[in-house]
Amino acid sequence: MIRKAFVIHAKGGKLTDYIKQHNPIWPELEETLREHGVSNYTIFHRADTQQLFGYMEVKDEALFSRLAEQNVCKRWWKFMTSFLESESESSDKAKEEMLTEIFHLK
């Protein structure tokens, strides 16, 4: 299993709306994530900030990389730019800072 983690930032005043969109996420998106080997996917919020931390496990990098080709992911990512900081107003996906694992306790 491959562990992945990232940080994203909610736009000012958009955190509550972002949270609502994840409870629940679109059923088609959930199915697509699972089909592409994603499991144990969790997003955390850092109190008193707009910072969000995401963690997921993936079965296979090649399978996971094909998520970007899926229409439901493209629609979701574009929709999330309403709530999350992006590189620019015309971005198709929110700014996502991938984290490097430095420690893991089994």
How many angstroms separate the Cα of 4 from the Cα of each of 80, 82, 93?
A: 20, 24, 18
**Residue 45, SS3?**
strand
Active site residue 45: no
What is the predicted pLDDT for the residue at 67? 97
- Beta partners for 52? 8, 45
**Which tens digit of pLDDT belongs to each residue from 41-85?**
999 999 999 999 999 999 999 999 999 999 999 999 999 999 999
Domain ranges within the chain, ordered by starting residue: 2-98
Q: Where are the alpha helices (DSSP H) in 46-86?
A: 61-65, 71-80
Residue 2's pLDDT band, with cuts at 50, 70 and 90, is very high
**What share of the chain has pLDDT > 90, as a percent?**
99
Which is catalytic among the residues 9, 22, 45, 104? 22
Domain covering 2-98 in this structure, CATH number: 3.30.70.100
